[in-house]
Every structure is written in structure tokens, then in C-alpha cells.
């Protein structure tokens, strides 16, 4: 994406990162399982849900890379409310589905209360799994350990992603804050465990 389009929606405190001369927009659809606070058990009813986040790739004032969230949609209303209050991310309740169908996975997200904010598509793995090489686009998109939103940041820890090349057909992506064009660059992963720390102010 043109960096000027992204810059207009991201505060000056964070730097928009480029790869191959462009800013990038990520749409990540996944299922959360066994979400819990440290030392606690998962809470029935709010610990497992579907989530879609729309992100770009940035560096903070200290030069460390991370992701900037434009939005997070969750199939659980309480989860969306918690993300919004704790991490200061624009988070929304959505009707969502992720189901296998004829060798594909069909994914759909329709934001509640905002007609036209929709993601709909399907995907399937199309190659051997691999770990991204440093310097590659896949590394740029996935090996990030900090999130930024509004006036807060939070540290994230996870193992390196085990990615699979993926064939995808996108019908609608109006969930994004920009009009998108061109073929998507897609990967999928079977599982990723993650730890997320409480938010703290963005240092200047």
C-alpha cells in the first residue's frame, strides 16, 4: 500500500515500516482457544472465540518493530469489550464463521451495527510448512513482538511462526479501512501459542 495512505491513519509517534518499497496491510483471521489470565483457568463462555484483526507494520519510538491495529473484530461481545477497554484498540462484536468445506476453510466476518464492514473468503494450504527467513516478506509480516494502538503498547511473546503457503479467494474485504486491490499474499498456520503483557504508555 502507498505509505501516505497508511500514515494518515497512524499517529506520528510510530514509524510506518516498508518492505519492497511499500507499506503493508494484514488481515488475520483465527480462532482463539483457552484465553486466560496468568495463573488462572480459562473462563467458560469468553475464553474461546473467533477474531479478525486488521493491522499494519510499524516501529515504536525506541526502534523496536511491532504491529498497529486498525481494528479487531471478535465473535464474543465481552471479548471485544475487554480488548477495547484494556488495550485501547478499536474492537467490535461481529458475526463470524470459520468452517471446513470441500478441502477449503470458509471464513466470514460481519461487524454488528456497521453495515458494509465485511470480510468473506476461503483458503487452503498449498505447500510444505516452513519458518520465515530473516529479511523475507514473511519474516517482516510475522516476527513481531509488540502491539500498538491509540496511546498504548503491549509486549507479545510467541515462537517463530510455522507457515504454510496458502491459496485464497477473497470475495469481500470491506472490513479494512482502505480499498484493496491486487492479489493477496497469503499464508496460514495450524497453531500459535502467545503471551501478551498488560499495556503501557507509548514512550516518546
| pLDDT tens, position by position, 116-168 | 999 999 999 999 999 999 999 999 999 999 998 877 889 999 999 999 999 99
**CB–CB of 159/185 below 8 Å?**
no
**E-only strand ranges, the chain:** 15-16, 25-32, 49-59, 65-74, 91-101, 104-111, 118-125, 130-131, 146-149, 152-158, 162-173, 187-188, 194-196, 200-201
Q: What is the pLDDT of residue 181?
A: 79
Q: What is the pLDDT of residue 36?
A: 66
Average pLDDT, the chain: 90
Q: What is the pLDDT of residue 160?
A: 92
Lowest mean pLDDT among 30-39, 92-101, 172-181, 184-193: 30-39
DSSP state of 199: P
Q: What is the pLDDT of residue 204?
A: 55
DSSP state of 85: H
Greater model confidence, 36 or 78: 78
Q: What is the pLDDT of residue 1?
A: 87
Q: What is the pLDDT of residue 22?
A: 92
Residue keyed to cell 514473511: 138
Amino acid at each position: 500500500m502507498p505509505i501516505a495512505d497508511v500514515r494518515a491513519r497512524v499517529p506520528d509517534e510510530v514509524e510506518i515500516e516498508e518492505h519492497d518499497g511499500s507499506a503493508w496491510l494484514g488481515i488475520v483471521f483465527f480462532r482463539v482457544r483457552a484465553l486466560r489470565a496468568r495463573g488462572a483457568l480459562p473462563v467458560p463462555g469468553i475464553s474461546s472465540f473467533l477474531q479478525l484483526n486488521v493491522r499494519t507494520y510499524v516501529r515504536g519510538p525506541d526502534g523496536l518493530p511491532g504491529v498497529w491495529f486498525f481494528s479487531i473484530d471478535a465473535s464474543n461481545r465481552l471479548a471485544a469489550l475487554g480488548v477495547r477497554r484494556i488495550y485501547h484498540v478499536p474492537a467490535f462484536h461481529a458475526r463470524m464463521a470459520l468452517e471446513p468445506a470441500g478441502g477449503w476453510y470458509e471464513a466470514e466476518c460481519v461487524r454488528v451495527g456497521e453495515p458494509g464492514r465485511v470480510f468473506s473468503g476461503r483458503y487452503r494450504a498449498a505447500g510444505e510448512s516452513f519458518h520465515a527467513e530473516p529479511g523475507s516478506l514473511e519474516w517482516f509480516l510475522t516476527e513481531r513482538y509488540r502491539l500498538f494502538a491509540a496511546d498504548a503498547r503491549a509486549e507479545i511473546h510467541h515462537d517463530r511462526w510455522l507457515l504454510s503457503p496458502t491459496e485464497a479467494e477473497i470475495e469481500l474485504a470491506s472490513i479494512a479501512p482502505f480499498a484493496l486491490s491486487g492479489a493477496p499474499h497469503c499464508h496460514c498456520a495450524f497453531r500459535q501459542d502467545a503471551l501478551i503483557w498488560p499495556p503501557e504508555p507509548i514512550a516518546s
